[in-house]
Amino acid sequence: MVSKVDLAIIGAGPHALTLVTHLLQKRQKIRSKIAVFDPSGRWLSQWKQQFAALEIPHLRSPAVHHPDPNPFALRKFAESRPHELFPPYDLPGTDLFDDFCGDVIRRWDLENAVTAEEITCIEPLPHSLGPRLRLWLKDRKSIIARRVVLATGSSQPQIPDWVSQIQTPLPQDRLCHSQLIDLRKLQLAGERILIVGGGLTSGHLAMGALSRMAKVDIIIRRQLQEKIFDAEPGWLGPKYLKGFFAESDFQQRWRMIQSARNGGSITPAMGMQLRRKVRQGKVRIYENTQVVKAQWLGNYWLIRTTSGEEYEYDRIWLSTGTRFDVYSQPLLEEVLQAYPIPVVNGLPVLDYNLCWRGCPLFIMGGLAALQIGPTARNLSGARMASEKLQKAIIKSTVAPYQAKIA
């Protein structure tokens, strides 16, 4: 185990892999200066687990979005497997994408690049020692890094208010957020399941439950929305981003992000599958409806909705999404104390290079949305963030803790 590193990357998901390949493309010599930390010790461990647990057949992002610097690398890889690119925009099948990422890891010689360690705290060191960060590990050992990139998912489950009002004790498996559900481990024949939320995850959960002979109700607080992508393609280029980056008011940028993503949505293909199940009487969808009260009555749920109706269920699955909030990140507590920066509705105001003002910490993913835009958490956002970061990290002329906000 190294005790000092030049560049520490926390997390080994798609964002971290995208960053490393982009850095190596620009400067191979940087390989010896990078250390990647993830509790699993493997690339994309959590990503693979989530896709497998929800039995997601293909990605929502087109084939040009992936961790390799060459946007056409996945299409090339799929030439012998064209049936695994799904319409309408060549959306890669989960197995295809998984195999491609394995190929990326081999081609860039990254099989052994991830250290199986969990970082529990980022501690800024006094500037008299030069800008440095101490990374504390679970076993209370530590590593000193000259620069750090936080590339974990960093999101928190959103739990509806009515959940905190449930007074009776209940089995944990009877009320779960979607992040904790693994369809592969469930026997659901004959069960009645309520899914709360109208995003694509709701659709995957519904199809998984139906394939296990359950009956499904979906409650959505507004109309069911259908969109091919979770944000319009114009957000991937200057069409919308030009105006976004020209906006100097970060509150307004936050509002633009909310408007662009506009809550959860399903794809037209998933909408077609759900409507077919509705016609077959296997699914009921309640739009413009919310749960107001839930009671666990020993072996089933009694639910009351805003319409005044009551329903009985065996399980409730919360597909209510996640939120990004810098204040709920234990890793960042000491950084926030030492270097308080403006925060807009949970999102930190980073500088143009995605750097935390005052210290050599960079942020990728959803927490960087004020500098990347509505797709910050997506694969396309990983590429945009990597392009910004590679300039800051590789060009020694850019001191990360002195870069200006834009």
Is residue 145 a contact partner of residue 133, using CB atoms and an 8 Å limit? yes
pLDDT at 279: 98
pLDDT for 400 beyond 50? no
Peptide bond into 88 cis (omega under 30): yes
Beta-carbon contacts of 145 under 8 Å, excluding residues fewer than 6 positions away, are 4, 5, 6, 7, 8, 35, 132, 133, 134, 135
Task: Give the C-alpha distances (Å, rounded to integers) separating 383 from 104, 109, 353.
Answer: 15, 20, 13
Residue 403 has pLDDT above 50, yes or no: no
Say what the pLDDT of residue 2 is: 56
Residue 396 amino acid letter: S
The confidence score (pLDDT) of residue 243 equals 96
379-397 tens-digit pLDDT: 999 999 999 999 999 875 3
Instruction: Tell me what pLDDT residue 106 has.
Output: 98
> If you average pLDDT over every residue of the chain, what do you get?
94
For residues 341 and 357, is the Cβ–Cβ distance under 8 A?
A: yes
Q: Domain 159-230+265-320 falls in which CATH fold?
A: FAD/NAD(P)-binding domain (3.50.50)
Asked if 235 and 262 count as a contact pair (C-beta separation under 8 A), the reply is: no
User: Which pLDDT does position 98 carry in this prediction?
Assistant: 98
Domain at 4-43+110-155+324-394: CATH code: 3.50.50.60
Whole-number pLDDT of residue 92: 98
What's the pLDDT tens digit per position in 348-365? 999 999 999 999 999 999
pLDDT per residue as tens digits for the range 51-70: 999 999 999 999 999 999 99
Supply 182's token pair: 């693994």
Task: Give the whole-number percent of the chain exceeding pLDDT 70.
Answer: 97
Same fold, 4-43+110-155+324-394 and 159-230+265-320: yes
What's the one-letter identity of residue 402? Q
Taking alpha carbons only, the member of 400, 347, 376 closest to residue 149 is 400
Q: Is the pLDDT of residue 401 over 50?
A: no
Extract the tokens encoding 126: 């006094």
Q: Which residue has the higher pLDDT, 15 or 263?
A: 15
pLDDT on residue 49: 97
Query: Mean of the pLDDT values across residues 151-174?
Result: 91
The pTM of this model reads: 0.94
Contacts of 403 (CB under 8 A, 6+ apart): 351, 352, 353, 355, 392
Model confidence at 151: pLDDT above 80: yes
Question: Could you read off the pLDDT of 72-117 as tens digits, one per residue?
Answer: 999 999 999 999 999 989 999 999 999 999 999 999 999 999 999 9
> What would the two tokens of residue 85 be?
């690119």
Q: Tell me the per-residue pLDDT of 302-340, one tens digit each, with 9 for 90 and over.
A: 999 999 999 999 999 999 999 999 999 999 999 999 999
Half-sphere exposure of 377 (CA within 13 A, CB side): 17
Q: Which tokens go with 241?
A: 């981003």
Q: Is 36 exposed, middle or buried (0-12, 13-18, 19+ CB in 10 A)?
A: buried
Q: What is the 3-state secondary structure (H, E, C) of the chain?
A: CCCEEEEEEECCCHHHHHHHHHHHHHCHHHHHHEEEECCCCCCCHHHHHHHHHCCCCECCCCCCCCCCCCCCHHHHHHHHCHHHEECCCCEEEHHHHHHHHHHHHHHCCCCCCEECCCEEEEEECCHHHCCCEEEEECCCCEEEEEEEEECCCCEEECCCHHHHHCCCCCCHHHEEEHHHCCHHHCCCCCCEEEEECCCHHHHHHHHHHHCCCCEEEEECCCCCCECCCCCCHHHHCHHHHHHHHHCCCHHHHHHHHHHHHCCCCECHHHHHHHHHHHHCCCEEEECCCCEEEEEECCCCEEEEECCCCEEEECEEEECCCEEECHHHCHHHHHHHHHCCCCEECCEECCCCCCECCCCCEEECHHHHHHHHCCCCCCHHHHHHHHHHHHHHHHCCCCCCCCCCCC
pLDDT tops 50 at residue 145: yes
Residue 206 has pLDDT above 70, yes or no: yes
Domain definitions of the chain by residue range: 4-43+110-155+324-394, 159-230+265-320
* Region 116-139 average pLDDT: 90
Instruction: List pLDDT tens digits, range 236-273.
Output: 889 999 999 999 999 999 999 999 998 889 999 999 99
